[in-house]
Chains A and B, each alone.
Chain A
């Protein structure tokens, strides 16, 4: 080499202070899940050991995320730059309360899914990647919630998307393949739109760091290009979040995979879109948000109402749940449309609540399906007599989803309605209430058919369908499988109730998160030093 190697002063290019040990929590979700996934992949044929590895890995992830959240609440926004390159040049992982909280809840739900999967995944699906997919899905989800770089966000989106493809087709049923085609193509278009928008954004502002973007955007001369970019982000993430009218992929596919998969999808995937919308619409492009607020509000109303109606129109329990996912997305979008600290607190709270409750509802449905061998509403019935415990879980989750106290859903709904009224969006508030009313009817009907009545359609009054000979609940060899399912369900139901009864901590966290989105100075300070940040 002609130029001698030299150890120059690199402080103009790199952060020279060592990373605080605790700050490694920022990237550990990525490391943990990739390692766990790779180990499971290597033990592909050890289908009995895989669940243990997965449960341990995701348990560790939960602990790690809990530690991360505690640290964020204690120290404020934390930034860690990969390779120590000075921001905005290297990829920064910047974690605020919103990201840390969502990462924690996501890991809890993934943990529950791993537990549920013990009984729900057969040997074939384990050999072909059920647990590795689940863990790499969590890599993508964690990366999404934690990264502070918009292109890197795209990469994590793709990681979670391809993992979800893998999970979706495990089984190769006709319906699964059909659903996967629609899910795959439409979602690929959505992430491609995300990539396109990012390309344009880079061309406009010359930076990819999410703390850097708001400053550069403010300095742009004209409106049209950046507003169009904002529109593209809105469209891309609205598609991911399954907002009306670009939500076709969800009802087309969510009822086809095994329940463990549908549950974790329903919990996490759409909420990732909501998270990305909050980041881009509120934090990165706030000025353009004001212009798009009405678009968002109309989309929100259409989404929540069409979802509730769709749920009511289904004859298959799983399909009804798919539409309920959509309806809940509408409420979260309402909070983003209003975009005040209070409304975003509501959206964050709603997202957390919805992650827990939607997954839980799928798990209940899965167990109901196992007990009765069908998901058709006309053929279901008598489950209240068969398993009162399952009925209890259902009613708590249904109440929670409908926004009834004393569950997590109540607080989420109250905050959103309150915020909409306070910001002079009465019709938005009214729509949230009407959508809640419709979902209450939809869920009450499901409860009536599947649980309360004596048996399948046509069972005469006063008689209970005899489930006795189908003694799957007591067979010794399946005890372990059912234990996992009950534990998973209990965890989620308990969490929803706990949030309902003691919401203060979570509301405080969501409030911190929302404040950080509305006024990102803490986020920016954490990346570049200065106000509210720490190096």
Chain B
């Protein structure tokens, strides 16, 4: 099963990279969103897969009964998911504001910080 997930995750990574290579900010953002999913699935799979049984201890026992899914990756992903969503939200608003100020969502056209044909450094002494 892990191998199957690995193939799927590889595909998701490829798709997100392809999106992020776009010059349109909005596609880069879509890529980032998908990238987050790929990473979370990756951590999930790296902790190995177990079908259906959530890591919850039954009321009648002190320890889980039988094999359960690995709880640690789930906890890590819960942290990561919230963080990556925060970043996504920030970047989205940033892209919006940038579009407002610069009038473009083409990342290649954003040349305010690093303008084209910048002044040469002074020569002489």
Chain A contact surface mostly: helix
Q: Which residues of B contact A314 (CB under 8 A)?
A: 121
Interface size class of A (residues with CB under 8 A): 35 or more
- A449 with B113: CB separation less than 8 A: no
- Which residues of B lie under 8 Å from residue A203 when comparing CB positions? 45-48
Q: Is the CB of A196 within 8 A of B42?
A: yes
Q: Are A3 and B46 in contact (CB under 8 A)?
A: no
Chain B: CB-nearest residue to A456: B122
Smallest CB separation, A309 vs chain B (Å): 11
Q: Collect the chain B residues with CB atoms within 8 Å of residue A377's CB.
A: 121-122
Contacts of A185 in B (CB 8 A): 20, 28, 32, 91
Across the interface, do B62 and A174 meet the contact criterion of CB distance under 8 Å? no
With A195-B80, A255-B113 given, is the CB distance from A3 to B87 under 8 Å? no
Whether B53 sits at the interface, judged by CB under 8 Å, is: no
A177 touching B94, Cβ below 8 Å: yes
Q: Which residues of B are found within 8 Å of A312, using beta-carbon distances?
A: 121
Determine which residue in A1, A181, A445, A448 has the highest number of CB atoms from chain B within 10 A of its CB, and name it. Answer: A181
Q: How far is the CB of B84 from chain A (nearest CB, A)?
A: 8
> Provided the pairs A151-B76, A174-B112 are in contact, do residues A181 and B25 lie with their beta carbons within 8 angstroms?
yes
Contact A378 B119, beta carbon cutoff 8 Å = yes
Q: Is there a chain B Cβ closer than 8 Å to A253's Cβ?
A: yes
CB distance from B101 to the nearest CB of A (A): 5
Contact in complex: B102, A178 (CB < 8 Å) = yes
* Cβ–Cβ contact B121 & A169, under 8 A: no
Question: Binary interface profile of B, 6-38, with partner A (CB < 8 Å = 1, else 0)?
Answer: 000000000000001000010010001001100
Q: Mark A450-479, 1 if CB is under 8 A from B, else 0.
A: 000100010000000000000000000000
Q: Determine the distance from Cα of A312 to Cα of B123 in the docked complex, in whole angstroms.
A: 11
Cβ-defined contact, A196 with B39, below 8 A:
yes
Give the shortest distance, in Å, between A490 (CB) and chain B (any CB).
30
B62 close to A3 (CB less than 8 A): yes
Complex Cα distance, B113 from A255, in Å, reads: 8
Across chains A and B, the number of contacting residue pairs, with CB separation under 8 Å, is 121
Most buried by A among B90, B94, B121: B121
Cross-chain contact B94 with A180 (CB below 8 angstroms): yes
CB distance from A440 to the nearest CB of B (A): 15
CB distance from B62 to the nearest CB of A (A): 6
CB contacts (< 8 Å) of A177 on chain B: these are 94, 97-98, 101-102, 112
Compute how far the CA of A202 lies from the CA of B62 in the bound complex, rounded to whole angstroms. Answer: 26
Instruction: Say how far A82's CB is from chain B's closest CB, in angstroms.
Output: 14
Considering only CB atoms, which chain B residue lies closest to A157 in the complex? Answer: B83
Inter-chain contacts of A184 with B (CB < 8 A): 87, 90-91, 94
Encode A171-209 as 1/0 by CB contact (under 8 A) with B.
Answer: 010111111111011001100100110111011000000
Contact (A188, B32) CB under 8 Å given A178-B113, A313-B121:
yes
| CB of B114 within 8 Å of the partner chain | yes
Q: What chain A residues lie within 8 Å of B97 (beta carbons)?
A: 169, 172, 177
Chain A CB within 8 A of B120 CB: yes
Contact B102 A174 (CB under 8 A): yes
| A252 vs B115: C-alpha distance when bound (angstroms) | 10
Name A376's contact: one of B42, B112, B119 (CB within 8 Å): B119
> Which residues of A lie under 8 Å from residue B47 when comparing CB positions?
202-203
For B84, give the chain A residue with the smallest CB separation: A192
From residue 56 to 111 of chain B, which have CB atoms closer than 8 A to chain A?
A: 59-62, 72-73, 76, 79-80, 83-84, 86-87, 90-91, 94-95, 97-98, 101-102, 107, 110-111
One digit per residue, 1 when the CB lies within 8 angstroms of any chain B CB and 0 when it does not, for chain A 365-385 equals 000000000001110000000
Q: Which residue of A lies closest to B93 (CB)?
A: A169
Cβ-defined contact, A200 with B35, below 8 A: no
Contact B90 A165 (CB under 8 A): yes
Query: Which residues from B are CB-within-8-Å of A313?
Result: 121
Given the interface pairs A174-B112, A377-B121, the reply to whether A199 lies near B46 with Cβ below 8 Å is yes
Query: Is A120 close to B, CB under 8 A?
Result: no
Having A165-B90, A174-B102, one finds 7 other A-B pairs with CB under 8 Å, namely A181-B91, A184-B91, A188-B32, A195-B43, A199-B76, A200-B42, A253-B113
Could you list 24 examples of A-B contacts with CB < 8 Å?
Answer: A1-B59, A2-B60, A161-B87, A165-B90, A177-B97, A177-B101, A177-B112, A178-B112, A181-B94, A181-B110, A182-B113, A184-B87, A185-B28, A188-B32, A192-B39, A192-B84, A196-B39, A198-B43, A199-B39, A202-B72, A251-B114, A313-B121, A378-B119, A453-B125
B residues at A contact (CB < 8 Å): 20, 25, 28, 32, 35-36, 39, 42-43, 45-48, 59-62, 72-73, 76, 79-80, 83-84, 86-87, 90-91, 94-95, 97-98, 101-102, 107, 110-114, 118-122, 125
- Identify the 5 closest CB pairs spanning chains A and B, nearest first: A203-B46, A199-B43, A315-B119, A179-B113, A178-B112
